[in-house]
Amino acid sequence: MAAEQMADGPQESTLPPPPRPLDAIDQDILKILQADGRASIRSVAERVHVSRANAYARINRLVEDGVIRGFSARVDHERAGHGTSAYVTLKIVQNTWRTVRDQLRLLPGASHIALVGGDFDVLLLVHAPDNRALRELVLTRLQAIPEVLSTRTLLVFEEEDLEPEA
C-alpha cells in the first residue's frame, strides 16, 4: 500500500498544523469558556479586557488550531437517568487499540476512553441506568469484543466535575 501511495505522488497530511503559542489572554479565555461554554463574546471580551473583535478572532483561532475541540454541556448523569457509573479497566490484545477504541465508542453510556500505561491498557468511563444495565454492558458487550482479554469494574459511589476558576 505504501508503495502505491508513493507512486501516486505526495499525500496530503491529515494532521492539523501545530497550534500557535497561547498567551495569558488566550489562557484566560480558555478558563472562562471551560467554566461557561455559553459565555457571550461580549462577556469574554470584557473579562479579559480586549475588544469584542479581538475576543472573537482569538476564539476562532483557538477553534481552528484545535485547542478548543467543541462546546458541550456538563450533565448530571443521575438526574439524566443514568444513576450508575463505573470505570472499567481493560486488558487488550497487543496492537489492537484502534479496533477496540472504535468498538468502545459504540457502547451506550461510554463517556471517556483512554489508552493508558500500567497494569491495564484501557480505562473506560461508563454511565448506565442501573447496576443491571451496567452488568449487561460489561459481561455481554465488553467481554464479547474478541480483543478484550479481561476487564475489572470499579463502581463510582460519588463524582464531582472540577470546574476551572474563571
Whether this model's pTM surpasses 0.75: no
Mean pLDDT in residue range 118-134: 96
DSSP track, 88-141: EEEEE-TT-HHHHHHHHTTSTTEEEEEE--SS-SEEEEEEESSHHHHHHIIIII
17 in a domain, yes or no?
no
Quick one: which of 68, 114, 48, 53 has its CA closest to 87? Answer: 114
Domains in the chain: how many in total?
2
The pLDDT of residue 165: 56
Do 56 and 31 share a structural domain? Answer: yes
Domain that holds residue 106: 84-156
Domain shared by 130 and 99, yes or no: yes
Residues 89 and 124 grouped into a single domain: yes
Q: Are residues 131 and 150 in the same domain?
A: yes
Nearest partner of 91 among 151, 134, 45, 139, judged by Cα? 151
